[in-house]
């Protein structure tokens, strides 16, 4: 399937990105992918190809475009090498909530202007830092975002942090899916409870789940990817099936709200791949305990008592 190098007009210059387009006849729904703190790199290109294979036009931007050309990180040592961690912090520091929202608006506008993309709203997903950015974008762009997902995103619900994404829950119109890791100090069960209460109080369609894994479990070149849990590849497939269910459901329901033509709505509700048909049968707006891939019964997770 085509992978295109693109230049994106952005608030503080022109940003580089890759556009991943499904094979066949479109148009298709658009998805904006926010990379983790390691930035856009080949592993995300492969993930973009995978999402495109599920029927989405995927944009992966260089979230650090303000820095110009920057040397790629070795994610195996990024958080253990003090100099590299400092360099990463320098790249991240300009990404205030205001900058993230402005950039996301430019990325969304770029996607929606493409002839390959259907409708007037997109989905967002992000990983680690990108998971937080995905939720910030949902809170800042309103109906432009139909569905927003965060995989092992950190600091998405932090008490006494005025920039915490959960504080903008009343401005989110997207369906929200949050996949946490049970071994992740940046997103605890207490924070999950805070996020759940904020989203529920604002009437946001949402699910917050924990996976039996460590922070970084969904990105293949992360050191925690293979060691995080048994059959981690299957676990990640389940995560992405959940995400696709959200995009499909939300886009189907959002047709009348975003004034899309019926035929555009039909494009966005194509059948799920066989492996996704039963990946998520749980009702929305609930917080679930850790889920296991390919399991049955209570071990797959059930309604949880919210912390706090």
**Structure tokens of 95?**
């990404």
135 φ/ψ angles, rounded to the nearest 5 degrees? -70, -35
Q: For residue 76, give every residue at least 6 positions away whose Cβ sits within 8 Å of its Cβ, in sequence order, or none.
A: 223
CA distance 15 to 65: 5
pLDDT above 50 for 263: no
How far is Cα 33 from Cα 125, in angstroms, rounded to an integer? 5
Residue 304: per-residue pLDDT: 27
Q: What is the pLDDT of residue 170?
A: 97
Phi/psi region, residue 299 (left: phi>0; alpha: psi -120 to 50; beta: rest), is alpha
Q: Out of 65-74, 99-108, 239-248, which region has the weakest mean confidence (pLDDT)?
A: 239-248
Q: Is the pTM of this model over 0.85?
A: no
Share of the chain above pLDDT 90, in %: 59
Q: How far apart are CA 182 and CA 189, in angstroms?
A: 8
Q: Are 100 and 8 in contact (CB under 8 A)?
A: no
Q: What is the pLDDT of residues 102-155, one digit of tens each?
A: 999 999 999 999 999 999 999 999 999 999 999 999 999 999 999 999 999 999
What's the CATH superfamily of 3-300? Alpha/Beta hydrolase fold, catalytic domain (3.40.50.1820)
From 152, 156, 153, 126, select the one nearest 232 (Cα to Cα). 152
Q: Which helix (H) or strand (E) holds 98?
A: helix 97-113
Nearest to 149 by CA among 167, 170, 124, 181: 124
What is the structure's pLDDT at 281?
36
pLDDT at position 232: 43
pLDDT of residue 246: 64
Average pLDDT value for the chain: 79
Contacts of residue 4, defined as CB under 8 A and 6 or more positions apart, other chains included, come to: 18, 19, 20, 21
Tokens of 138: 């949902």
Q: pLDDT-derived band of residue 245, with 50, 70 and 90 as boundaries?
A: low
By C-alpha distance, which of 278, 297, 281, 97 is closest to 207? 281
Q: Lowest mean pLDDT of 44-48, 81-85, 88-92, 220-224, name the range.
A: 220-224
Q: What are phi and psi of 33, to 5 degrees?
A: -105, 120
Of residues 274 and 47, which shows the higher confidence score?
47
């Amino acid at each position: 399937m085509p992978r295109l190098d693109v230049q994106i007009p952005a608030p503080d210059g022109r940003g580089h990105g890759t556009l991943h387009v499904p094979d066949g006849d479109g148009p298709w729904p658009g998805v904006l992918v926010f990379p983790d703190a390691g930035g856009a790199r080949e592993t995300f290109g492969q993930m973009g190809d995978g999402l495109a294979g599920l029927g989405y036009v995927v944009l992966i931007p260089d979230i650090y475009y303000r820095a110009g050309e920057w040397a790629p990180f070795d994610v195996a040592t990024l958080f253990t090498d003090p100099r590299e961690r400092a360099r990463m912090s320098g790249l991240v520091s300009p990404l205030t909530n205001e900058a993230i929202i402005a950039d996301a608006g430019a990325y969304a506008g770029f996607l929606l202007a493409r002839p390959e993309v259907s409708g007037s709203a997109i989905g967002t997903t992000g990983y680690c830092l990108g998971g937080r950015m995905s939720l910030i974008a949902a809170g800042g762009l309103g109906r432009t975002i139909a569905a927003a997902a965060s995989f092992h995103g950190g600091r998405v619900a932090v008490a006494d942090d005025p920039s915490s994404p959960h504080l903008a829950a009343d401005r989110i119109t997207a369906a929200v899916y949050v996949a946490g890791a049970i071994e992740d100090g940046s997103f605890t069960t207490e924070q999950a409870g805070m996020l759940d209460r904020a989203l529920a109080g604002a009437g946001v369609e949402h699910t917050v789940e924990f996976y039996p894994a460590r922070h970084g479990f969904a990105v293949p070149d992360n050191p925690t990817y293979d060691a995080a849990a048994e059959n981690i590849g299957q676990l990640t497939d389940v995560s992405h099936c959940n995400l696709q269910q959200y995009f499909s459901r939300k886009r189907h329901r959002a047709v009348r709200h975003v004034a899309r033509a019926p035929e555009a709505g039909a494009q966005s509700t194509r059948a799920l791949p066989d492996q996704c048909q039963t990946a998520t049968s749980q009702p929305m707006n609930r917080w679930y305990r850790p889920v296991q891939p390919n399991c049955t019964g209570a071990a797959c997770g059930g309604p949880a008592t919210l912390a706090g």
